[in-house]
Amino acid sequence: MGDFDNKEREEVFSKKVRAGKRTYFFDVKATRSGDYYLTLTESKKRLEDGVFVKHKIFLYKEDFEKFTEGLTETVEYIKSHQDVVEKRYEYSENPEYTHTPKTESDDFSF
């Protein structure tokens, strides 16, 4: 098939979100035919050995609408059945992560 098959697909766009002990990566990549798809990666450092554990989901554009509907419905269910305490985190080398308390001006809506 070729050398390209053994390499990561071309990265078009990337967004990194640090949230407490986890980091999320939203990466837009392109297939050989130029179609975009999204990879969602969760990365978390294991305390016992310092190794980063990653979980990855591939989301293709034909599934965006259904995925978004399902995510929105699920988030709305949680919000309507439980108080959601949002935190804004700051990165720290210290294992005890610090956070900045939520203010009235913060907007966490989807």
pLDDT of residue 6: 38
Domain count, the chain: 1
CATH number, residue 23: 3.10.450.700
What domain range is 21 assigned to?
11-81
- Take residue 65 and report the two structure tokens written for it: 């609408």
Distances (CA, A) of 93 to 7, 100, 105: 31, 16, 28
Across the range 80-100, mean pLDDT stands at 63
Tens-place pLDDT, residues 8-19: 677 899 999 999
Q: Looking at 34-38, 55-59, 73-77, 104-108, which range is the least confident one?
A: 104-108
Give me the phi and psi of 49, to 5 degrees please. Answer: -135, 0
Q: Give the whole-angstrom CA distance, residue 27 versus residue 98.
A: 26
Q: Is there a domain that residue 52 lies in?
A: yes
Q: Is there a domain that residue 70 lies in?
A: yes
